[in-house]
Amino acid sequence: MEREVMYKLRKAVKYWWISLIIGLLAIGLGIWCIASPMSTLIALSIVFAISFLVTGAMEISFAVANRDNINGWGWSLTSGIIDLLFGVFLIVMPIEVITTIFALFIGIWIMFRSIWGVGMAIDLQKFGAKGWGWLLTLAILGILVSFIFIMDPPFAMSFIVAFASVGFIFYGLFRVFLAIKLKSLHRL
């Protein structure tokens, strides 16, 4: 029995090196983000544009599908439309403009979504849902973060690049250490 378990474990971690490659690529991407902040902002604006388009379409679908079941379905419909508009705006905006207003743009979006979150939390409270206070707290924190982005866009852009960089580097380190552990299990 023990021999069979060890065989399966060794076979399962046979490709430990894939985790190592993923980790090294992520670390490299994190370093690239630090070294190329403008390129990072451009890449992030593309990712944000795509995510705005997808979430906007999904939010509109959710609102329309639940218009008979949810009293505040108009909030979801409106936020979906705004997400779609933000996505289109990021796609059609010249790159030179995006790099200068990206943080301000994201700050306005965070503010809108956070105000929407306050409304949703209050609606949930009216229905007696538990945990609505946490949602309200998170929405209020979102409003505070949005003020930072709106009031100091250069700081916000540095913040966005730094967090993207650190996030990729930490994920990369995790994958490298995971590969080391998997390799040691492979040798058992």
Handedness of CA 98, 100, 101, 103 (dihedral sign): positive
pLDDT tens by residue, 4-50: 766 666 665 778 889 899 999 999 999 999 999 989 988 998 998 99
Does some domain include residue 5?
no
The number of distinct structural domains making up the chain is 1
Domain that holds residue 114: 14-186
Give the other-Cβ count within 10 Å of 18's Cβ.
12
pTM confidence score:
0.71
- CA gap 72, 170 in Å, rounded: 40
Does some domain include residue 72?
yes
Residue 175 confidence (pLDDT): 94
Residue 10 confidence (pLDDT): 65
Does some domain include residue 174?
yes
Q: How far is the CA of 13 from the CAs of 21, 108, 176, 177, 179, in angstroms?
A: 14, 46, 14, 14, 9
Does some domain include residue 81?
yes
Weakly modelled stretches of the chain, pLDDT under 70: 1-2, 5-12, 186-188
Residue 123 confidence (pLDDT): 86
Give the max Cα distance, the chain: 64
Does some domain include residue 4?
no
